[in-house]
Amino acid sequence: MQITSIAAIYFLFFVMSGFLMLPFGVKTADEVGADKVPGQADSAPINFQPGKVAARASVVAALATALFVANYHYGWVTVADIDFLPKPPAASAT
């Protein structure tokens, strides 16, 4: 597998895990007891820290990429292993 392929897979895992990490560790103004800005949504985060989200996402993406590359190299799970749908009937030759 080429390094550019690994980098592209890492980027995909990073974006996906970044979205998965967004709701963790975020508190609203009601939970903290802080004053709300007029017009602020009740669910708006008060302590959003994008650096923490990016750090967590990069760790998760690195682990997922390493697992993906190891599976690619060693062939633990193949397409034949996850092909659980029945095969279509053979077409009759006319």
Q: What is the Cα–Cα distance from 23 to 43, expressed in whole angstroms?
A: 11
Burial of 18 (0-12, 13-18, 19+ CB in 10 A): middle
Domain presence at residue 87:
no
Domain range holding 19?
A: 3-76
* C-beta separation of 62 from 45 below 8 A: no
Cβ–Cβ under 8 Å, residues 9 and 77: no
- Tell me whether residue 43 is in a domain: yes
pTM higher than 0.85, yes or no? Answer: no
**Domain assignment of residue 10, yes or no:** yes
> Predicted confidence band at 94 (pLDDT cuts at 50, 70, 90)?
low
Q: Is residue 90 part of a domain?
A: no
Is 25 inside a domain boundary?
A: yes
Tally of domains in the chain = 1
Residue 83 in any domain: the answer is no
Render pLDDT for 26-39 as a digit per residue (tens, 0 to 9).
Answer: 888 888 888 888 89
Name 31's Cβ contacts closer than 8 Å, sequence gap at least 6: 46
Residue 13 included in any domain = yes
